[in-house]
Each structure stands twice: as C-alpha cells, then as structure tokens.
Structure 1
Amino acid sequence: MAEPDFPTLNPYANIAGSLSPYRIDPSVLKEESEYILPFGSDGKRGHSEKLLWATGSSYLSGLCVGSTWGIVEGIHRSGEMTAKLRANSVLNGIGRRGPLVANNIGVAVLLYRLIDSSIIKARGSTDDAYNQIGSGALAGIAFRSTAGPRAILVGGTLGLAIAATSFVISNRFMS
C-alpha cells in the first residue's frame, strides 16, 4: 500500500511560510510622527495623558497607603488571637482601608486634573501657578461639596495647600 501524500491532503500544509512574523512589508512602516494626537508632538504631555497618569499613580499610591493602614489596624485589633484569626484580621483591614483611601485620593486627583485642564483651556493654554493652585482649591471644594460648608472650607484650604506645596516642590527641586 502506498503512503498518502500528506501535503496535498492538508489544506494548511504550506500556510506557515505566508504567516511568518518576520516577513514585513516595508511600505507599512511610515516615517511619520509617533504621536497619535497632535498635541503630543511638541514634547509636552497632553491633558489626557496627564489625567491618566496622575489618576492611576495616585490611586496606586493610595492603595499602598491604605493597605499599610489596614495591616497596622489588623495587627492592632488581633491582639492575642491565633495565627489564622490574626491573618484574617489583617486581610479584613487591608480590604477595608486600601480601597477606601485609594478611591478617595484617585477621585480627588481626577477632579484636580479635570479642573486644571479646563482652566488651561479657558485661559488660552496658559499654564502657571495660578492654574495649579486654583485647581487644587476648586478640586478640594468639589470633593467635599456634599459634606456641608465647614467641610467645603476645609477641603478647599487643604486642596490649595497641597497644590501650592506641589508647585513649590516641582519648581524648586525638579526643574
């Protein structure tokens, strides 16, 4: 009995040569700008990139701080418990405090970046200390706006202080 001719029986036998990842048509590689949107080509980050980076990094930082708080709280509450109960107490503390702090900081920074971008657009692309400090105060006011007049005042003052401190640090030590 003759052996079957497998390449003719298999319709996918010679397809590997045409699907090689190393065969690239040079016409698809264009020598144009690597930026998707036009506002990134001047070397500065655009508003959306700043918004995403600031919100994501602040959320992650808040998650670390809140989780640390939860670990300390879980260890403090566990006292003379067994190891399993102590581990459960620590995990409960992490689950309670980590997302709480992360969400609050993430929302506050999101508000700050949105207000800052809006003020920059309204002032005709002028980005200076007034924008940053004013955005901090307005973000604090907006963040605490549902808690009453005293909380609004505290939130605005705290937002203003954090934005002013951030502005001074970024201009003094990072430029």
Structure 2
Amino acid sequence: MVWPFGSKSATSEKPSLASPSEFVNDASSPAVTTTTGSSSASTGTPELPSFMTDIDLSTLHPLAGLGNDLQILDFEDDALSSLPGSNGIFASRGFVDDLCYGTGFLYLGGLGIGGVYGFAEGLRQQPPNAPAKLKLNSVLNGITRRGPFLGNTTGVLAISYNMINGFLDVTRSYHDIYNSVVAGALTGGFYRLGHGFRPMAISAAVMGGTMGLWNYINSAF
C-alpha cells in the first residue's frame, strides 16, 4: 500500500513470539552478580550496609540476651499478703484480691442458690392440669425472681464487709477474729439501716457471728 503523504510504505508486521526454548535458556542463565567494593553477591541479593550489621543486639532492649532465664509470667502480684493473720485455708494476696474474688464468689453462689430455690418454688406453685407453657413460665418467673435477688444481696454484703475489714486490717496492721466480727456486724447493721433498730440489731448479730465463725475456721487450718 502506498501512502498519499509519504514515499515509504507501511506494512503490518506481527510481533514475533518467543519459542519455549528461549524461556528455558533464560531461566537457566546464571544470576547477575553485583560487586560492592571488594565483596560480591553471587545470588544477586545486595549486601546490607555496615551500620546495619555492626550492632550489639544486647543493647537494644533490657530483656535481650537473657536466654532461658526470661520469665514473662513472673508477676509480683503472686506474692502472698504479709499481713499477720491474713492467711489460712485460702491464701490471701491482699485487699484487692479479697475484694474481687470474695465478691465474685459470693455473688455467683447466691445467684446459683437463689436460682435453684426459685426453680423449686416455680414447680411447687404450678396450678394443677396446667399446660406446658404455663408450667415453664412459672419456673422461669421463680428463677428470675429469687436468683438475682439473692445474688445481688450477697454481692453487696461481700463488698461492704471486705471494705470495712480491709480498713480495720490497715488501721490495726493485723488481721484476727475481732476485725471479722466488727466488720460483719457493721455490714449487717448498715444493710438493714432503714428498717428500724430491732432488724438492724438482728442483722448485725447474724452477720457478725457468721463472719466470726468463718474467720475461726479459716485460721484454725
């Protein structure tokens, strides 16, 4: 074909495809070697600068170079309380430990006992010849009524007792049965504060006696 504005002819040329043998030859050719100063990398990977290799790793972090002596899970909070008279059947690690674990244990215990009592109460109060849905509703009402009530009550009592008992331990620098009895009596009295003197006295006596008995059993073993 002759172009109208030129003397040369343009022909459509198709690009030549490389044969599979050329790819094989290229893959089998040796890697390009690079030379930096007097050293060379035969694999084609450039060498690291000297400022990145001349590093003392033991100076990077205080924990470097400890080897097998490194114990990450060695916490100081695992030490038992040094307060005289504070250890017994259950080892104490201090005020925060007693407050958290004691409150959680009593709350879950009260929740479980209250739920079992509510379950039995719901079964007992079912009307005769009631349908299955009504029986299930009666049981669920008993569980949700008794369980959370007893759990919340024991949780509040545990928080109050541990706070007062911890204050007495710090004030006297000693833990004994007297601290437990006084803390229990004050906790029981405050719990029934709005119900008059007689309910307050009964609650204080019951709570103080219970905590005194627990402290005696805990310290005896």
Given the two structures, how large is their TM-score scaled by the length of structure 2?
0.60
Q: CA deviation at 1:160?
A: 1.2
Structure 1 residues 62 and 121: alpha-carbon distance in aligned structure 2, compared to 1, 3 A threshold: same
Aligned mates of 2:163, 2:218 — CA distance in 1: 19
Aligned mates of 2:165, 2:111 — CA distance in 1: 24
- Answer yes or no: is the 8 Å Cα contact 1:74–1:91 preserved in 2: yes
The counterpart of 1:114, out of the listed 157, 160, 163, is 163
Residue number in structure 1 paired with 2:137: 88
Residue number in structure 1 paired with 2:127: 79
Gaps of 5+ in 2: 1-16, 18-60, 83-90
- Answer yes or no: is the 8 Å Cα contact 1:112–1:136 preserved in 2: yes
- Answer yes or no: is the 8 Å Cα contact 1:136–1:159 preserved in 2: yes
- Answer yes or no: is the 8 Å Cα contact 1:139–1:159 preserved in 2: yes
Deviations 1:7-61 (A, max 9, x none): xxxxxxxxxxxxxxxxxx9539567951259x75758411011100000000000
Q: CA deviation at 1:171?
A: 2.8
The counterpart of 1:62, out of the listed 85, 110, 131, is 110
Deviations 1:62-109 (A, max 9, x none): 001110111011101113211221111101111111000000111011
Identity level (%): 32
- Answer yes or no: is the 8 Å Cα contact 1:33–1:41 preserved in 2: no
Structure 1 residues 44 and 89: alpha-carbon distance in aligned structure 2, compared to 1, 3 A threshold: closer
- Answer yes or no: is the 8 Å Cα contact 2:119–2:142 preserved in 1: yes
Given the two structures, how large is their TM-score scaled by the length of structure 1?
0.75
The structure that has the greater radius of gyration is 2
Report the AA paired with residue 117 of structure 2. W
Aligned mates of 2:201, 2:149 — CA distance in 1: 22
The counterpart of 2:98, out of the listed 30, 39, 50, is 50
Aligned mates of 2:73, 2:132 — CA distance in 1: 60
Runs (4 or more) in structure 1 with deviation over 2 Å come to: 25-33, 39-44
Residue number in structure 1 paired with 2:6: none
Structure 1 residues 158 and 86: alpha-carbon distance in aligned structure 2, compared to 1, 3 A threshold: same
Aligned mates of 1:90, 1:30 — CA distance in 2: 51
The counterpart of 1:105, out of the listed 149, 154, 159, is 154
CA RMSD of aligned residues (A): 2.6
Higher helix share: 1
Gaps of 5+ in 1: 2-24
Q: How many residues align?
A: 148
Report the AA paired with residue 135 of structure 2. R
Residue number in structure 2 paired with 1:162: 210
